[in-house]
Structure 1
Amino acid sequence: MMRFATLSLLFLILFHGSPIKAESPIFLDTGNDRSAYAPNSEEDDTLLPEYIVEDAPTENLIYLAFENLPKKLYIGQIFPVTIKVTSLMRRNPYQITLHDGENVELIKEPEEIAPRPIAHLTYYFKALGPVIRIPDFIVSYEDDPWKTYTLPGEKLSAVRLNPPKDFCQVLAHNLELENFQASAFKQKNNILALQLKISYGNFDDFHLNGAIRQGIDSYSGDINDTTLFYYAVFPSDVEQIRFSYFNLESNRYKTFEIPIIVKRSSVSTQSDLDPQESEFTKFKIAATIFFIALWLLLWIKRKRWTYLVLVILASAYLLTYLMPLKKVCIEEESALYLLPTPQSTPFMRLSSPIMGQEMNRKGGYTKVRLPNNTIGWVKNENLCTH
């Protein structure tokens, strides 16, 4: 009986540990840093290796989806991509970044992304190649930018056009030629200014074949309604230009023909681009001369002073058109602009001071005619002070 009790006590000591507390731990010499395995009574959880700690699953707070992806595209076309964003944190603002697109150029993104439960956001891209990959849309809340939600980009195909020789490189839902104006530009050259209205088109690719020099002067509006002011210099023997664009609504090319008829009045303000304006000026001069002659005959015949007064007034009015233009001095290195606007393109720069004729003033600009009949706008600050 005594032997059985002794064996039982030894069994408990071996499997449940000794009731005596050790003063210091005992380590096996394995060559590793022993301090990493030392117990810590204050932070027991630090004894667990990191690789066995698992993150708890988190709930998606943002859901993303594409809407209305285009089914047919052409290279060079501007096309919309709309995404649907469902945010469970309704009042939390979020931000969207784009990443890893192929053969596309971002043209326009939403001006404002307001926090709301469901948002439909439209981005505009330009197709640059036959195989397109829309970028990934990466969304995150502004107060937690490290947690992101990704909508992977989609692949699309674009068709290359087989355009006519006069193609202006523009694909648009609509293009209208609102005004045009031709004028002398240096010697043996004319400059043509166009005012175009383009809807959903790649207006920055506009190009006229055969021009010596050309470019965008300025533009206004947005992608769905752009007003473009364009200039091109042609040899003076070119009497007409022709260009076509591709209409995305009808899937057909539409053509414009523009006669290059040099007018007395040249490129000035946007309203001056009306090709009928100089013709109307000639009509007013002819009509004034007719009435002067008529009233003068009536005064000679009837001797009424009323007719004489009318003759004097009409003659003064006529002198405003026929009197010589005022001379102005333009400083060296001054730029000549197509339009009197800050966004206008300088088309030439003077290499030396020169005298010109003042034709008009608008804002901080003066319209001048140079001795070689070149006409443009110069800043008032570039006029000589002496």
Structure 2
Amino acid sequence: MVARLFFLLIIGWYQLFAFTTIDEEPSVFVDPPALETPVEDLNAEESLVIEDLNDEEDPEISEPETPAERLIYLTIEDVPKKIYVGQIFPITVKITSLDKRRPYIVELENGKNVDVVKKHDDIPPQAINRLTYYFKAKGTSIRLPVFTVRYEDGTREYRIESVSLTAVKLNPPGEFSGVLARNMELINYQASSYDDGNNILALQLFVEYGNYRDFRLPGTFKQGIDSFEGDINGTTLLYYGVYPVGMEQVEFSYFNLEKNRYEKFQIPIIVKRSSVSTQTTLDPQASEFTKFKIVATSTFILLWLFLWIRTRRWSYPILIAAATAYLLTYLIPLKNVCIKAETTLYLLPTKQSTPFMRLYEETTAKEMDRNDRYTKVQLPNNRIGWVKNEDLCSH
């Protein structure tokens, strides 16, 4: 064992003296070589380099900007629980602005199966706005538009992502008018002669919170909206439909959103003729029903005359006089009026009525009715319409 340790010690000393010399080993006592630049100048140069580095802008090491404070918050409120295809429904958006004096605008985009019926163009700058938008459902799968709020100067923009809704598709009856409304009332109606073979039926309806523009009458070959007034909450609608002579009744229905059911209207088509003094007249040949009234009235007059001759009761002359006056309203010829050239005839006597004919020459027609602004006339070709009173000839 001792011999082995002595052998290892000899090998170690041999390797030490064979590969290392005193001259090659650097000494810690040797002074370093002198610097070419004085210490004072080096310090000055280093300070200049440091200042130059501080002056340079390094985008990678610059401090991140503080995120801008959110100034507007949007929330969708009052979403309907049930929607039908074709229905007009409201969506209320609550907008909270921390900068309440700064005006902003709201834009809608990228909706699916919806039409915007009513939006807000003028929005007051205030802390909280609740804006109700009205949409019309066009399909069962609905995606509301994205609501984007933008300051008028374009500096900030906030948005609410779209919301998906599902609408129910109705299975309506054949007489369905296409209207879904909270309520619909028939205010008035009137039937009058349109031409030799057709009558025109005018309806005045009040539609509460409904899609009144989709209203249609069944079984008519010509129809349309004559005029309307109001807003989405309540609209008074004047509508017309042209039906062939001999059709005695029109039926139509609408879907009541409050009662969740269809409600039906039945309207008789009766072409009336009143007294000559008011000149609300129609041509006796325009309707078979009018002919029947003339024949029936004449028959009663002859019957009462026969009974009066036999009994001499004074009640019969009174009945005969009343029936004769009624009969004369159909037999006395209508007054002729002159219509100026380049005159437009309208279907109904309203401000926004539908024009259906234009007279390019001066024409003589029969006066059938008159009010403060319009005169109802029957043309030589038996077409009936309304003209403005200023379009009548002065002579």
When the two structures are superposed, what TM-score results if normalisation uses the length of structure 1?
0.71
Describe the SS at the equivalent of 2:156: strand
2:223 counterpart of 1:214: yes
Please give the per-residue CA displacement for 1:309-332, whole angstroms capped at 9, x wherever unaligned. xxxxxxxxxx99997654222245
Amino acid at match of 1:249: E
- How do 1:32-111 residues align onto structure 2 when only pairs under 5 Å count? 48=58, 54-110=64-120
2:264 counterpart of 1:255: yes
Describe the SS at the equivalent of 2:116: strand
Query: Residue in 1 aligned with 2:232?
Result: 223
Distance 1:131 1:140 in 2: 28
Amino acid at match of 2:229: S
2:211 counterpart of 1:202: yes
Query: Residue in 2 aligned with 1:133?
Result: 143
> Post-superposition shift, 1:246?
0.5
- How do 1:23-38 residues align onto structure 2 when only pairs under 5 Å count? none
Q: Are the counterparts in 1 of residues 274 and 329 from structure 2 also a CA contact under 8 Å?
A: no
2:248 counterpart of 1:239: yes
Amino acid at match of 1:69: V
Query: Residue in 1 aligned with 2:34?
Result: 6
Distance 2:139 2:361 in 1: 47
Relative to structure 1, the CA distance from residue 58 to residue 210 in structure 2 (aligned partners, 3 Å threshold; closer, same or farther) is same
Relative to structure 1, the CA distance from residue 343 to residue 3 in structure 2 (aligned partners, 3 Å threshold; closer, same or farther) is same
Query: Residue in 2 aligned with 1:164?
Result: 173
Describe the SS at the equivalent of 1:204: helix
Amino acid at match of 1:140: R
> Post-superposition shift, 1:375?
3.2
Distance 2:121 2:204 in 1: 27
Relative to structure 1, the CA distance from residue 383 to residue 211 in structure 2 (aligned partners, 3 Å threshold; closer, same or farther) is same
Relative to structure 1, the CA distance from residue 3 to residue 363 in structure 2 (aligned partners, 3 Å threshold; closer, same or farther) is farther
Relative to structure 1, the CA distance from residue 78 to residue 222 in structure 2 (aligned partners, 3 Å threshold; closer, same or farther) is same
Relative to structure 1, the CA distance from residue 4 to residue 348 in structure 2 (aligned partners, 3 Å threshold; closer, same or farther) is same
Gaps spanning 5+ residues in structure 1: where?
23-38, 267-285, 287-318
Alignment size in residue pairs? 314
Distance 1:90 1:105 in 2: 30
> Post-superposition shift, 1:116?
1.8
> Post-superposition shift, 1:171?
0.5
> Post-superposition shift, 1:368?
2.2
Q: Are the counterparts in 2 of residues 331 and 353 from structure 1 also a CA contact under 8 Å?
A: yes
Q: Are the counterparts in 2 of residues 360 and 367 from structure 1 also a CA contact under 8 Å?
A: yes
Query: Residue in 2 aligned with 1:146?
Result: 155
> Post-superposition shift, 1:95?
1.2
Distance 2:80 2:379 in 1: 52
- How do 1:310-349 residues align onto structure 2 when only pairs under 5 Å count? 325-349=334-358
Query: Residue in 1 aligned with 2:184?
Result: 175
Distance 2:333 2:343 in 1: 24
Please give the per-residue CA displacement for 1:66-117, whole angstroms capped at 9, x wherever unaligned. 0011121111000000011111112222211111111111111246422221
Q: Are the counterparts in 2 of residues 365 and 377 from structure 1 also a CA contact under 8 Å?
A: yes
Describe the SS at the equivalent of 2:154: strand
When the two structures are superposed, what TM-score results if normalisation uses the length of structure 2?
0.70
Amino acid at match of 1:248: L
> Post-superposition shift, 1:208?
1.0
Amino acid at match of 1:6: A
Q: Are the counterparts in 2 of residues 184 and 373 from structure 1 also a CA contact under 8 Å?
A: no
Q: Are the counterparts in 2 of residues 170 and 206 from structure 1 also a CA contact under 8 Å?
A: yes
Amino acid at match of 1:211: T
Q: Are the counterparts in 1 of residues 273 and 330 from structure 2 also a CA contact under 8 Å?
A: no
Q: Are the counterparts in 2 of residues 183 and 265 from structure 1 also a CA contact under 8 Å?
A: no
Indicate the percent of aligned positions where both proteins have the same amino acid: 55
Distance 2:163 2:117 in 1: 18
Amino acid at match of 2:221: I
Distance 1:18 1:327 in 2: 115
Describe the SS at the equivalent of 2:216: coil
Q: Are the counterparts in 2 of residues 244 and 254 from structure 1 also a CA contact under 8 Å?
A: yes
Query: Residue in 1 aligned with 2:364?
Result: 355
Q: Are the counterparts in 2 of residues 104 and 127 from structure 1 also a CA contact under 8 Å?
A: yes
Q: State which structure, 1 or 2, has the greater radius of gyration over its C-alpha atoms.
A: 2
Describe the SS at the equivalent of 2:247: coil
Distance 1:264 1:111 in 2: 49
> Post-superposition shift, 1:132?
0.8
Please give the per-residue CA displacement for 1:134-178, whole angstroms capped at 9, x wherever unaligned. 111111222x32311101121111111100000000100101111
- How do 1:366-377 residues align onto structure 2 when only pairs under 5 Å count? 366-377=375-386
Amino acid at match of 1:370: L
> Post-superposition shift, 1:209?
1.3
Relative to structure 1, the CA distance from residue 160 to residue 265 in structure 2 (aligned partners, 3 Å threshold; closer, same or farther) is farther
Gaps spanning 5+ residues in structure 2: where?
1-28, 276-296, 298-327
